[in-house]
Structure 1
């Protein structure tokens, strides 16, 4: 993007639960996605209007950073530091296999009228009972789920198991086994069910140096799958979202969003 475009984009508002398509994007960027032996990987987390470039604000990481080791056990980051434009942390990968690094959040927002006054509440689905009157006047309930993640593998890739919550990428082709000229297939699920007819956007890194995003839009089939053949190596930003009514709660609007950072290697 050109400087004037940066200024215009910076004026747009950001929602981490519902990232805007042409303004600020939230992402995690690992220094490496494939290691031949155990070692350290450092990560950057930021919100910016140029993908993988620090020009807006840092990623806020509190209790929503989840790092999963190949055996399913949780790991803690090292040297976590939030700066003015980015958040950084290190991760010591000590055993072979695939590590899943994610920022995941889920919340419920409600508004209603009570004695002519607008009331609002926000929290988790588990906390809502008793806090929000089910028969309230003009009751509106919205639930949101956001997942921002990346994958790193030491040695041979291992299975990256989905959580079954929110919108997720379920690897068919392993996310650390992507090569130029090879087709890759990903499946997407919404709360564990295939996300059919889902629009998946893929953007190559380097948007700062292009006048156009050059984004690619793929649409999942009835099984929630998309297949794409990579044309160039490098880092890629992938995102998708689902809007509509909740399948598990009556009269509840929902929005599920998903973002992943992937690396495509040369043959």
Structure 2
């Protein structure tokens, strides 16, 4: 599946990717993931040193996409952005599973000039061919132009779950749950598959961090790797929210003058007690 020029133009409006371009981790924190039809959830969005710690920056909501169980789009309510977090509400008026995602795409250039690191475009500005030609020297040293495609997602189900909102697009790195994404329980192995451009993504490293880092002596990140079919499994030890993230870098950029591509997918899921 190819990205249309219209979609790409909209995506390039956000070139700053705070949860992919720095050491800080981006996350969405739903107030609850299993509800009845008509109930509400509140979602916090931020970047921080570790997941769910409100200690760095609020997440921008420009590219927030909420997909209802029938595939339609839902507008957030009561959206606000503070210093350390953004938040918004969603009413689950349909039965089934909702996908809440911040989807970012962009192109960025990095190079060295007289021993100093330079980059284009400035944070929060869009990449343009004209701006690139003006700002980046023709003979720039150590020039790297990278196309980025990232998704930061979480899920909530009202009543009986379904998977319409979870269908992969075939573009970039995507996670496919091999059971209901909101029916995850301690003591029950959960299975997932990563796809890259619609095909199984083998040997992809997956980092998993449980909530509560602030109250532990260490992050205790779990590191897994997908098998030849892009699959991996997790045996949950404790209930709560879990942050799962993976990324792939390759030479499959589709937007000139980018040569490199980095695609990442980060999901927050809730694990319940049996």
Whether the aligned pair in 2 keeps the contact of 1:33 and 1:153 (CA below 8 Å) is yes
**Closer, same or farther: CA 69–110 of 1 in aligned 2, 3 Å:** same
C-alpha contact (below 8 Å) 1:108/1:141 kept by paired residues: yes
Shift of 1:68: 0.3
Q: Does 1:203 align with 2:209?
A: yes
| Matching residue of 2:19 | 16
**1:152: which partner in 2?**
156
Verify: 1:228 aligned to 2:237, yes or no.
no
Check the 8 A contact 1:203/1:236 in 2, yes or no: yes
* Equivalent pairs, count: 242
CA gap 1:110/1:56 in 2 versus in 1, 3 angstroms:
closer
Taking the aligned partners of 2:119 and 2:157, their CA distance within structure 1 comes to 47
- Secondary structure, counterpart of 2:160 in structure 1: coil
SS in 1 for 2:220: coil
Question: Could you say which residue in structure 2 is the equivalent of 1:170?
Answer: 176
The residue matched to 2:214 in structure 1 has which SS? helix
1:4 corresponds in structure 2 to: none
Per the TM alignment, residue 193 of structure 1 is displaced from its structure 2 partner at its CA by: 2.1
- Which 4+ runs in 1 deviate beyond 3 A? 110-113, 118-124, 127-133, 136-140, 247-251
Aligned-pair CA distance for 1:166: 2.1
Give the match's secondary structure for 1:70: coil
Identify the range of structure 1 (215-224 vs 157-166) with the bigger mean alpha-carbon deviation.
157-166
185-194 vs 249-258, which moves further: 249-258
Using a 3 Å threshold, how does the CA distance of structure 1 residues 119 and 109 change in structure 2: closer, same or farther? closer
CA RMSD after TM alignment? 2.7
Counterpart selection for 1:218 from 209, 219, 224? 224
- Return the alpha-carbon distance in structure 2 between the equivalents of residues 112 and 42 of structure 1: 41
Structure 1 pair 221–61 and aligned structure 2 pair: CA distance change class (3 A): same
Q: Secondary structure at the match of 1:208?
A: helix
> Any gaps of 5 or more consecutive residues in structure 1?
1-13
| Structure 2 residue aligned with 1:9 | none
TM-score, with structure 2 as normaliser:
0.80
Which consecutive residues of structure 2, in runs of 5 or more, have no partner in the other structure? 1-16, 113-117
Counterparts of 1:36-55 in structure 2 under 5 Å? 36-55=36-55
